[in-house]
Chains A and B, each alone.
Chain A
């Protein structure tokens, strides 16, 4: 396994690099097999679905045929739906199917020159904006038009994955967009519902990956001002990677604990939910001496 034990630093590093590369490879291979299995399961489910549909339609056809033959007027079978009703039913079920695809987050439609994808974003059950990508497939896959906001690194993601693995491209882009939508949603919710606890303005940027604001904390019937800086290092994540809370110099030492608790909470829980838990905690505390 070891190709020559080298004791110089270069050799060790090269070895470590090789191990790391190997680990990476193994991880991607594992991901790949997982995805294949997922795909297989989905296709199997689809096959089942289609079989069921086929059986239904077959039953209908048989019924129709029986009706044709047995003209004795025995209305034992349920009333044959009219052509109009069948068409309406078909349209409704197709619309429902398309709605389902749309709700999964990534849906597409073939166009004359390629395909148009729609990435819809959502955060914890609330559907947010949709973004579109119009792709051309000849001579090579390229983006013709899109409605992705300019601060999402679309160019970089496209350079990495568009030509080689379009599913990965869509998945990564969807992660970026969903995370951005989630961060923005949290900041908007905070401003909308908890503006009374925030002092001054909420400083944010286009990507909503850096939030700085001051908020009031109640302790022993006195309010103190906390300054918090939330840094979202991972653009595909809607929770902060770094939280820095600082209090005013005149704050008592016990507040340091609260600050640490808050810091931990911000790292784990959505921003507006964290604030909601503060207000309920304060309500509980008010009763205590």
Chain B
């Protein structure tokens, strides 16, 4: 096991919070229980990582095992990366029987035919997701393990979640290989990005709670209804308005938890509207402006705006359409017709 590999494994272990190192290593399964028992997981991380590397040397770890450890780390701590969503399209209508071995073979073949020095590793998870880790090299250099790309693909869906490497030039090749391997024709980037991979999946797979009007009442979660004040001297003056806001909010956002997004960005290319007498701008040209909303949990905070009295209900559809349109980056141009603002639909 060479120096570089040892260092890579050591640095991967160092990234893991100390209390969780043992569980991650157990999931990895490369070191036996007996070996893990010999490590003191209460010492400082530096020492733990040295011990782990020593054990890996005993077992003659190679780059494949190290890559698997890296995938496991990124699967558990996927929130540390920013994920983008890509959508593939095809013209044919045949039902494809997704064959995992076939997919892996085609993917590797496509990448390797274009670039000799790549490390490619796969790992399947229970939820039908396939994780792919690709470390990129050049015709003259070995792959750089620290700047890998990660791809998450659910079979038989047209969506791919990519956390791209900082080496931007590798992205087109990666997209091409994905399209070929999954038997699609085309791939495009959607305007949807977040740190929370699961929330992105919830949005495109429509797993988040949408409020549909039905007669059959779905079990509503018991809300923390503040008990009607026992003190009769306290009267709710605007109870109707509060209830209306609650109702409208629930209709728009649904009952369940919202997907977790950190940003919503609106690029405005609209004309500045001012009093014609003021004549702020000499020429009539679009006033370019970028509005960015950021929050640890954007949709939940939007949902709580109206009940907290900070905004009118219903909220602007520009904000509430985010999960349904599956995008959080918008371009707003001048309205040409009756509809206010037009979104760029790629």
A interface residues (Cβ-Cβ under 8 A, vs B): 98-99, 101-102, 107, 109, 111, 116, 118, 132, 134, 145-151, 153, 156, 201, 203-207, 209-210, 231, 235
Contacts and interface: CB of A to CB of B under 8 A. Distances in A.
Interface string B135-163: 00000000000000000001111110000
A231 B97 CA distance: 8
Contact of A145 (B95, B155, B214, B324): B324
A149 B93 CA distance: 17
B177 to A, nearest CB: 20
24 contacts: A98-B215, A102-B215, A107-B216, A109-B214, A118-B212, A132-B210, A132-B212, A132-B214, A147-B206, A147-B210, A149-B205, A150-B206, A151-B156, A203-B100, A203-B124, A204-B128, A205-B155, A206-B128, A206-B155, A207-B98, A207-B156, A210-B98, A210-B99, A235-B95
Overall SS of chain A's interface: mixed
B156 A148 contact: no
Interface of B: 93, 95, 97-100, 124, 128, 154-159, 204-206, 210, 212-216, 324
Contacts of B154: 151, 206
Q: Give the top 10 A-B pairs by smallest Cβ distance, nearest first.
A: A132-B212, A151-B156, A102-B216, A205-B155, A206-B156, A98-B215, A205-B98, A116-B213, A206-B128, A150-B157
A134 B128 CA distance: 28
A77 B135 CA distance: 87
Contacts of B205: 149-150
Contacts of B158: 150
Contact of A107 (B100, B215, B324): B215
Contacts of B99: 210
A174 B214 CA distance: 17
Contacts of B159: 150
Contacts of B97: 209-210, 231
Contacts of A150: 157-159, 204-206
Most buried by A among B97, B206, B216: B216
Contacts of A111: 213
Nearest to B155: A205
A205 B156 contact: yes
B206 A148 contact: yes
Contacts of A134: 212-213
A230 to B, nearest CB: 11
Contacts of B155: 151, 205-206
Most buried by B among A107, A147, A205, A209: A205
Contacts of B214: 107, 109, 116, 118, 132
B157 A109 contact: no
Given A206-B128, A210-B98, A101 B215 contact: yes
Contact of A109 (B100, B206, B215): B215
A99 B215 CA distance: 9
B274 to A, nearest CB: 36
A102 B7 CA distance: 60
A239 to B, nearest CB: 16
B206 A149 contact: yes
Nearest to B95: A235
Given A132-B210, A150-B205, A150-B206, A118 B95 contact: no
Contacts of A98: 215-216
Nearest to B128: A206
B157 A206 contact: yes
B93 A156 contact: yes
B213 A109 contact: yes
B61 to A, nearest CB: 23
Nearest to B208: A147
A206 B155 CA distance: 6
A101 B214 CA distance: 11
